């Protein structure tokens, strides 16, 4: 039996264990050495190590377990996003004095870009009033959703997507410790479906390992409900060759077999356009068509009608 989610079980506990963000980690290590830090905004795509880095920073800063538990607090701003939370939970934590040899506490607000504007304005005042006793770390995917007054009070650290090599190294480490046979094609399939999100990659590895200790390409696509890239390219190629009926039959078989939503197959089509050997004008036309259909789906149009319209537009592309 698996005793804990792999994401938590193998989360780096110190800054020295965090990979793929060397420049940022160097700056965070400097804060630990100086026993001082500004308010921070950690921004970047999902699964790139923002929350992990914040926790590792706090653990390195507050080495004693009791000191850490008293001086560190993490809130998910997508759940606690209103002004009332800032006026109660956040202020109550920030106003109390820290323990240990570090002169401040650390409060992490995860998914801070989901906070309401009123809550962010209240947070700004709290950050000003309790700077001596508490440092704030705001974690977000989109820093532009954080109001300008807060941004001006924080040092913004921008995380970049992890390389496939870094994610693959993490997957191999977990596989070895858990006794999982991660095949080369299985690892490549996980990297494909995760799209640079290390957290998603680790979760997929765990999900597949519950079915079989052999993680293969077939098992990854089966568990994630993703279509083989070759089949997506084959469907696009049929449409480019003018074979509308065959491409429609292929589309229907993929939707029936994998149970995909229209938006999911659109994302895969978009990704595979860049992997196809087609002239640049054709690639540009394909991207424009996919963008138009994706917009219509987001507006609530019928999936099957729009997906068939997509194939029809691709057929007309070469005429």
Task: Please state the domain extents for the chain.
Answer: 6-158, 164-224, 229-317
154-187 pLDDT, tens per residue?
A: 999 999 888 889 899 889 998 998 888 988 999 9
| 193/166 Cα distance (integer angstroms) | 16
Residue 79 pLDDT = 63
| 15/58 Cα distance (integer angstroms) | 9
- Examine the pLDDT at 197 and tell me if it is beyond 50: yes
Strands (E), the chain: 39-43, 72-76, 105-110, 134-140, 154-158, 181-182, 214-215
Reported as a pLDDT band with limits 50, 70 and 90, residue 40 is very high
Residue 257 pLDDT = 75
Between CA 244 and CA 249, with CA 248 as vertex, the angle to 5 degrees is 120
The angle, 0 to 180 degrees and rounded to 10, between the axes of the packed helices 244-258 and 303-317 is 140
With beta carbons less than 8 A apart as the criterion, state whether 250 and 235 touch: yes
CA dihedral sign of residues 4, 7, 8, 14: positive
- Examine the pLDDT at 241 and tell me if it is beyond 80: yes
Residue 1 pLDDT = 36
Residue 195 pLDDT = 81
| 266/290 Cα distance (integer angstroms) | 7
Q: Which residues have a Cβ under 8 Å from the Cβ of 197 and sit 6 or more positions away?
A: 45, 46, 47, 48
What mean pLDDT do residues 5-24 have?
Answer: 84
Length of the chain: 319
Q: Does the domain spanning 164-224 belong to CATH 3.40.50.150?
A: no
Residue 105 pLDDT = 92
With beta carbons less than 8 A apart as the criterion, state whether 14 and 81 touch: no
72-105 pLDDT, tens per residue?
A: 988 876 666 667 777 778 888 888 888 888 889 9
- Examine the pLDDT at 2 and tell me if it is beyond 50: no
Q: Of 280, 276, 282, whose CA–CA distance to 313 is shortest? A: 282
b/e map of 190-208 (b: 16 or more CB within 10 Å)? bbbbbebbbbbbbbbbbeb
Token pair recorded at residue 113: 């870009």
CATH architecture of 6-158: 3-Layer(aba) Sandwich (3.40)
User: How many C-beta atoms surround the C-beta of residue 167 within 10 A?
Assistant: 25
What mean pLDDT do residues 192-217 have?
Answer: 87
Residue 77 pLDDT = 62
Helix (H) or strand (E) holding 240: helix 229-240
Query: Which has more confidence, 8 or 243?
Result: 243
Strand partners, 181: 214
Task: Give me the CATH code for the 229-317 domain, please.
Answer: 1.20.272.10
What mean pLDDT do residues 36-50 have?
Answer: 90
Residue 229 pLDDT = 86
Residue 54 pLDDT = 92
- Examine the pLDDT at 295 and tell me if it is beyond 70: yes
Q: Are strands 154-158 and 39-43 parallel, antiparallel or unpaired?
A: parallel
Token pair recorded at residue 109: 């607000």
Reported as a pLDDT band with limits 50, 70 and 90, residue 15 is confident
Q: How far is CA 85 from the centre of its chain?
A: 25
Q: Are strands 72-76 and 105-110 parallel, antiparallel or unpaired?
A: parallel
With beta carbons less than 8 A apart as the criterion, state whether 12 and 18 touch: yes
Q: Of 75, 78, 79, whose CA–CA distance to 94 is shortest? A: 75
Give Cα separations from 50 to 46, 158, 296 (angstroms).
Answer: 8, 9, 33
Token pair recorded at residue 168: 């693959």
């Amino acid at each position: 039996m698996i005793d804990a989610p792999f994401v938590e079980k193998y989360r780096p506990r110190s800054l020295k264990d965090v990979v793929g963000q060397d420049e940022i980690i160097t700056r965070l290590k400097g804060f630990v050495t100086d026993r001082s830090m500004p308010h921070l905004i950690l921004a970047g795509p999902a699964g790139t190590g923002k929350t992990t880095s914040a926790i590792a920073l706090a653990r390195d800063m507050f080495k004693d377990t009791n000191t850490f538990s008293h001086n560190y607090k993490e809130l998910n701003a997508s759940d606690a996003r209103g002004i009332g939370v800032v006026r109660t939970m956040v202020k109550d934590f920030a106003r109390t004095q820290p323990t240990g040899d570090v002169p401040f506490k650390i409060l992490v607000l995860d998914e801070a870009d989901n906070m309401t504007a009123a809550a962010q304005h209240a947070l700004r005042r709290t950050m000003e009033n309790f700077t001596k006793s508490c440092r704030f770390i705001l974690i977000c995917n989109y820093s532009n959703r954080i109001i300008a007054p807060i941004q001006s009070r924080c040092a913004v650290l921008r995380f970049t997507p992890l390389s496939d090599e870094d994610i693959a190294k993490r997957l191999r480490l977990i596989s070895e410790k858990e006794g999982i046979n991660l095949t080369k094609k299985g690892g490549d399939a996980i990297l494909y479906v995760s799209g640079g999100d290390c957290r998603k990659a680790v979760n997929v590895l765990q999900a597949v390992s519950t079915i079989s200790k052999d993680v293969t390409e077939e098992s990854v696509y089966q568990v994630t409900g993703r279509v083989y890239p070759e089949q997506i390219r084959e469907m696009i190629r049929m449409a480019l060759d003018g074979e509308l009926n065959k491409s429609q039959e292929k589309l229907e078989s993929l939707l029936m077999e994998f149970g995909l939503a229209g938006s999911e197959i659109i994302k895969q089509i978009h990704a595979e356009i860049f992997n196809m050997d087609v002239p640049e004008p054709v690639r540009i036309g394909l991207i424009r068509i996919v963008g138009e259909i994706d917009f219509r789906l987001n507006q609530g149009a019928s999936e099957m009608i729009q997906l068939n319209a997509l194939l029809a537009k691709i057929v007309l592309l070469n005429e």
